Amino acid sequence: MIIKVAQSAGFCFGVQRAVEGVLAWAKANKGKSVKIYGMLIHNSYVIDKLKELGIEVVEDIEQIAKEDIIFIRSHGVSMDEYAEIEKRAEKVYDFTCPYVKKIHEIVKEHSENGYDIIVVGDMNHPEVKGIVGHVSNNRKCFVIDSIEKVKEATNQIEGKAVVVCQTTFDNKKWSDIREFLESHTNYKVFDTICKATINRQKEAAELAKRVDIMLVVGDKKSSNTNKLYQLLNETKPTFFIEKVEDLDSIKLDSSAKSIGVTAGASTSPEQIEEVVKYLEEKFNEMNLKDFERLIDRSFSTVQRGEVVKGRIIKVEEDYVLVDIGYKAEGIIYKNEVIKNGNVNLKDIFKIGETIEAVVIKESDEEGNVVLSKHRADVLHGFGELLSRYENKEPVRAVVKSIKEKSIVCDFRGTNVYVPISQWGEDVQTSDIGKIFEIEITDVNKEKKIAFGSRKPLLKRREEERFIKQIESLDFSREYDGIVVEIKEKGIMVNFENLRGFVPASEVGHLKRGTDLKKLFEIGRKSQG
């Protein structure tokens, strides 16, 4: 039997950050009283491992003493809970998921500014309780999980409102609710569902199409793992297991030839590895590339200054998200694509495109790896430009600025200067940020700059267009045209995107010396 493992199975960035942070601190500070307020993550397997290191899980603030080091769970807590914990504990480390923290900021800021709050999610989930606990200024707050409940909430809201979503809420339900809100209200709607969760579900669904049976590994208290199971079980025989021992009770279809394995965001690499090894031993046939890719991804790291390759998964006007084969996505902001260039990134990049970038920050506030395409371009861009120059190949460059005598363009981090006289058409300020094809005319290797022209390219294109247009004409038929100029020896006519000259001798039966201006008028239609 073939065993295939989903590439994104296992810890998401927020969970990995929390688990590794607590483990590292506990190992370096043995003998101290270390406690986690609430389950750090929804995974009993991981929590048991933490307990083995002497880390205690407490659910009641009253259990916190002055000598305690407290770690805040990844789901977050309310403002009141956090303040009380700070009063009681010796030290507090906040491992709230950065995506959840962003929701806290949205809710707190907007409630302080007079907005009522709608939280889409499960009212019993600790993440939702923490979000609700950031509503201030006595504003109304509603927790809803269906369009029916949305309608009930909107009937009770008289003014402005903000809508956020639990990061692990069902994406299909969220899409329906968001669509309803955006079409029936003027509320501010923030799409705060975790993109890693969506990508995980999409990838698992694709994997399910290629196998006979699916296994979902994770804790049954985990919201995102449960939703993963429910999604897959609708289309494929799917089994939900928490530990490797659960496999003994599963009766597999004897006709099945392949198994797909995926896991929730709170499932550790060790759990997945145990399951895969068990399946390998039982069926003695495994797709090792899938397994190695999973393990590599689970333990992979990124470092500042490292050059990474990735596939673009989202493009906005001012930033790009990139899958770099890591637990967190890479993000490239506009200024790290082209320095000082007012560009719309949607004009430059396409989803699915592979690009190279340099890591400039391991994690931003939302957990993304911050990348710079500009720095990668500086490393390799000049070499590519030089190669294109030598091979007489044009480059596609972005207009950065317009100077008095030249236009400054950017090709992969290299400045290309085009004299205005060589631009080939009228220069518009609206050209800034747009991409143009440019022929490189000279390169200064010492300064690593280049000079270019568009005139030869435009001329060649016009000639090609003219030849193509001429070849398409039917010389046996007549064409309508517009008179654009009247001369003594004939008239100039625009027709079929061409300009033609009609000699006086071909106008018709005219007497010698006839004034053509009396017969034709500029702008009038003529046939010939």
Catalytic residues: 127
Rounded alpha-carbon distances, angstroms, from residue 287 to 205, 291, 293, 359: 19, 7, 10, 31
Report the candidate in 44, 53, 61, 43 with the shortest Cα–Cα distance to residue 22.
Answer: 53
268 is in an annotated binding site: no
Q: What type of residue sits at position 222?
A: S
12 is in an annotated binding site: yes
110 is in an annotated binding site: no
* CB-based burial label for 329 (10 Å; 0-12, 13-18, 19+): buried
Contact 85, 92 (CB under 8 A): yes
Please state, in angstroms and rounded to a whole number, the distance separating the CA atoms of residues 290 and 220: 25
165 is in an annotated binding site: no
Which one-letter DSSP state was computed for residue 332?
Answer: E
Contact 322, 35 (CB under 8 A): no
409 is in an annotated binding site: no
Query: Residue length, the chain?
Result: 528
167 is in an annotated binding site: yes
97 is in an annotated binding site: yes
Rounded alpha-carbon distances, angstroms, from residue 405 to 117, 408, 414, 507: 55, 10, 19, 46
Torsion of the alpha carbons at 21, 167, 47 and 276, rounded to the nearest 10:
-100
The SS3 call for residue 15 is helix
Instruction: Work out the end-to-end distance of the chain between its first and last CA atoms, rounded to an integer number of angstroms.
Output: 76
Half-sphere exposure of 454 (CA within 13 A, CB side): 23
Strands 2-5 and 258-263: parallel
Contact 315, 350 (CB under 8 A): yes
125 is in an annotated binding site: yes
Q: Kindly report the CA angle at 348 between 408 and 334, in degrees rounded to 5?
A: 75
223 is in an annotated binding site: yes
136 is in an annotated binding site: no
Q: 300: how many CB neighbours lie within 10 A of its CB?
A: 11
222 is in an annotated binding site: yes
Q: What share of the chain is helix, strand, coil (3-state, %, to 5)?
A: 35, 25, 35
- Burial string for 98-133 (b: 16+ CB within 10 Å, else e) reads bbbbbbbebbbebbeeebbbbbbbbeebbbbbbbbb
Detail the residues annotated as belonging to a binding site.
12, 42, 75, 97, 125, 167, 194, 222-224, 266
Detail the residues annotated as belonging to a binding site for dimethylallyl diphosphate.
42, 75, 125, 222-224, 266
